[in-house]
Structure 1
Amino acid sequence: MALLDGIVSRRIETSRLAVSLLERAGDPAGGTPVVLIHGNLSSSLFWQETMLALPAGYRVLAPDLRGFGDTDPLPVDATRGLRDFSDDLAATLAALGIEAAHLVGWSMGGGVVMQYALEHPALSLALQAPVSPYGFGGTAGPEGVRLTNDDAGCGGGGVHPDFVARLAAGDRTEAAPTSPLAVYRAAYVHAGFRSEHEDIWLDSMLSSRTGVDHYPGDSAASEHWPGFAAGTRGVTNAMAPGHFNAGGLVGLEDKPDILWIRGEADAIVSDASAFDINCLGQLGAVPGWPGAEAAPAQPMIAQTRAVLDMYRANGGRYREVVLENCGHSPHLEYPEQFLAALTDHIAGTCRRAG
């Protein structure tokens, strides 16, 4: 594990599994807890620069989700949506004696944080480039209407097998567009961005477990285009709209403040996502696309905004921050702007609570 100076790692036993956890050396045990949740095909290693940059006085933590990093690789039951991950998070915080925390979720981690907030108290939520509250793929309109009852085009069947093979083999080259490093450079960050810690971020990606119980999961046949549908096992299926739906946030009685921060050039979470099968079909990259009525691209940004607008209308607070020339990883690409938005968000929440 490649750790930056000032970051320490340990494994803790919880009621559900053994969890690998990064902490900032010297943080007070009684400090304000800030918990950073990584996304798919990553781990806690991606958060290290942010952890070190956060102000003193916080207790900063970054756990690995199951099947990523050094946390136990228990299987993912996709029929539970992202609840395996959010239940693991609850068990982790309980083991640490933390009743409530400021939660920061990136990409799939944003979905984990949303799911957690549906069932547990949180001091605040920060959603960085989060998956839509209505899942990934297979829905239409800002209200997130499912297109088929089997979530055609969603889940494990949409992942390129060569990428999975290279991930499992630990490929560190940029020999093909499906190499993990090439995917990182093309999709995680904006064009031309380079980090001195790129080898660490690649280590993080390569820590992802592969297979039907992890990434990408299984797949099912479908009578609908493109011929496959979401399965019941593994990570990508856990975000299928039939399994994951966090729209219930709007009805929470106690609504934590929400920061939504994203890059305007995000290739993954977008109203024209390069990872949405329907969008790819519309572009001609997947043959046989049946048209916009049957298989429209998912308006991911519009869906998140619609839910958060309803959240605000029902008495909650949220702020949207959009960074120009920024991809899927604001905390890596524009760390100063990300840190300013996050610390303002946490401080404002604390002032209102006090």
Structure 2
Amino acid sequence: MADLLGGITARTVETDRLNVRVLEVAGRTGTPVVFVHGNVSSSLFWQRAMLDLPGEFRPLAVDLRGFGGTDPEPVDATRGVRDYSDDVAATMAALALGSAHLVGWSLGGGVVLQLLRDRPELARTVTLVNPVSPYGFGGTRGTEGELVDGSGAGSGAGGANPDFVRLLGEGDRTADSPLSPRQVLLSCYVKPPLRPELEDTFVESMLSTRVGEAHYPGDTVPADAWPGVAPGRSGVLNALAPTHFRLDDLPTVTPKPPILWLRGADDQIVSDTSLFDLAYLGSIGAVPGWPGEDSHPPQPMIAQTRAVLERYAAAGGRYDEVVFPDTGHSPHIERPAEFAAALRDFLGKE
């Protein structure tokens, strides 16, 4: 892989579910740290964070199904993100890792939380980096994640911008459109005016996303409620729909490993005013027909995550929240030294 940094190696791991591409740091044999990437990306986004870990840790980053070099198996969205979390567990088993420190970004945050929910014995610690809300993405209100409509309208694949999906599928590498992968990287993944050092690598990573109903964004079904579409049964955005993905029972997990929540203060993707939430876009006039604040308020994504983590702590767990100022959706890219220090400090205590 031409986009690998020095010291990073790649291999394909055969599991009992599918073949998974894994990045590693050459020669490391310490305590495993498993990194899980976000939506429309791949393990390539984790390389600097992997290299920055001290020598007593063994960093590994996986490509989720349908991204990077992992088999493009379809995503059964009716299982929420369990296709992804079960794949990660299978990869850990194939590599005989036992338990590991789990680090998940965005979608990957939901994946590692699902793994914690289903297989808590595999998690030494959990680090969440700008994670999706425990109540999914779109279609809910309030800190308890109440569905705005029983169909899940306002969430799922119908929330994807069709021009972005088209340009992603066409492999567009230009900056000609504000909805090209490159421009979305520069305007939403990081806070402008930052130009990441590995910008071209990240664009290639984004373009490794498989596009279609089985992958990104997924299928849709019509809905009577605004905005007229509801999540279907396949694909990544439907896997994050609150009708399929909910982790409000996370406080019941035993044992409860410590959780570190890292996030950028100016995230435009996962926030209480997300530019990717149809309800928020409706509230600012960007999506027509918005019924109003009373029935369709923007999803309070940060408040929802904090509410679930506070209940986790009240039930005997522990979490710490670190907010990086002047930072967007990707603190591991935007503030690599500070991110590495926060992660090292957390892992070093456990």
TM-score grouping bracket, smaller chain normalisation: over 0.9
Match of 1:87 in 2: 86
Question: Residues 54-78 of structure 1: CA distance to partner in whole angstroms, max 9, x if unpaired?
Answer: 1012111001000000000000000
* Cα displacement (A) at 1:344: 1.1
* Cα displacement (A) at 1:251: 1.0
Match of 2:172 in 1: 171
Match of 1:292 in 2: 293
Q: Secondary structure of the residue that 2:249 maps to in structure 1? A: helix
| Aligned mates of 2:110, 2:13 — CA distance in 1 | 23
Moved more, 151-160 or 272-281: 151-160
* Cα displacement (A) at 1:347: 1.2
| Aligned mates of 2:270, 2:277 — CA distance in 1 | 9
Question: Is residue 2:318 matched to residue 1:317?
Answer: yes
* Cα displacement (A) at 1:109: 0.1
Q: Secondary structure of the residue that 2:103 maps to in structure 1? A: strand
Moved more, 148-157 or 207-216: 148-157
| Aligned mates of 1:69, 1:170 — CA distance in 2 | 14
* Cα displacement (A) at 1:157: 1.2
- What residue identity is the alignment partner of 2:231? A
Question: Is residue 2:179 matched to residue 1:204?
Answer: no
- What residue identity is the alignment partner of 2:298? A
Match of 2:99 in 1: 100
Q: Secondary structure of the residue that 1:123 maps to in structure 2? A: strand
* Cα displacement (A) at 1:222: 0.3
| Aligned mates of 1:248, 1:202 — CA distance in 2 | 36
| Aligned mates of 1:119, 1:196 — CA distance in 2 | 37
Question: Is residue 2:20 matched to residue 1:23?
Answer: no
Match of 1:45 in 2: 44
Mapping 1:304-343, distance limit 5 Å = 304-343=305-344
Mapping 1:1-354, distance limit 5 Å = 1=1, 2-28=3-29, 31-120=30-119, 121=121, 122-349=123-350
| Aligned mates of 2:13, 2:337 — CA distance in 1 | 31
Question: Residues 106-152 of structure 1: CA distance to partner in whole angstroms, max 9, x if unpaired?
Answer: 00000000000011121000000000000001111111111111100
| Aligned mates of 1:279, 1:52 — CA distance in 2 | 37
| Aligned mates of 2:244, 2:20 — CA distance in 1 | 24
| Aligned mates of 1:102, 1:276 — CA distance in 2 | 30
- What residue identity is the alignment partner of 2:101? H
- What residue identity is the alignment partner of 2:11? R
Match of 1:352 in 2: none
* Cα displacement (A) at 1:177: 1.1
| Aligned mates of 1:340, 1:314 — CA distance in 2 | 28
* Cα displacement (A) at 1:49: 0.6
Q: Secondary structure of the residue that 1:247 maps to in structure 2? A: coil
| Aligned mates of 1:140, 1:98 — CA distance in 2 | 39
Q: Secondary structure of the residue that 2:349 maps to in structure 1? A: helix
- What residue identity is the alignment partner of 1:312? A
| Aligned mates of 1:245, 1:307 — CA distance in 2 | 11
| Aligned mates of 1:165, 1:274 — CA distance in 2 | 19
* Cα displacement (A) at 1:295: 0.8
Q: Secondary structure of the residue that 1:9 maps to in structure 2? A: strand
TM-score by length of 2: 0.98
* Cα displacement (A) at 1:191: 1.1
| Aligned mates of 2:249, 2:72 — CA distance in 1 | 29
Alignment identity in percent? 57
The number of aligned residues is 347
Q: Secondary structure of the residue that 1:336 maps to in structure 2? A: helix
| Aligned mates of 2:9, 2:260 — CA distance in 1 | 27
Q: Secondary structure of the residue that 1:261 maps to in structure 2? A: strand
| Aligned mates of 1:220, 1:343 — CA distance in 2 | 45
Q: Secondary structure of the residue that 1:243 maps to in structure 2? A: coil
Q: Secondary structure of the residue that 2:46 maps to in structure 1? A: helix
| Aligned mates of 1:39, 1:201 — CA distance in 2 | 12
| Aligned mates of 2:236, 2:130 — CA distance in 1 | 18
Moved over 3 A (4+): none
Question: Residues 222-268 of structure 1: CA distance to partner in whole angstroms, max 9, x if unpaired?
Answer: 00011111111100000000100112211112101000000010000
* Cα displacement (A) at 1:102: 0.1
* Cα displacement (A) at 1:209: 0.3
* Cα displacement (A) at 1:162: 1.3
- What residue identity is the alignment partner of 1:307? V
Q: Which runs of 5+ in 2 are unaligned?
A: none
| Aligned mates of 1:118, 1:235 — CA distance in 2 | 19
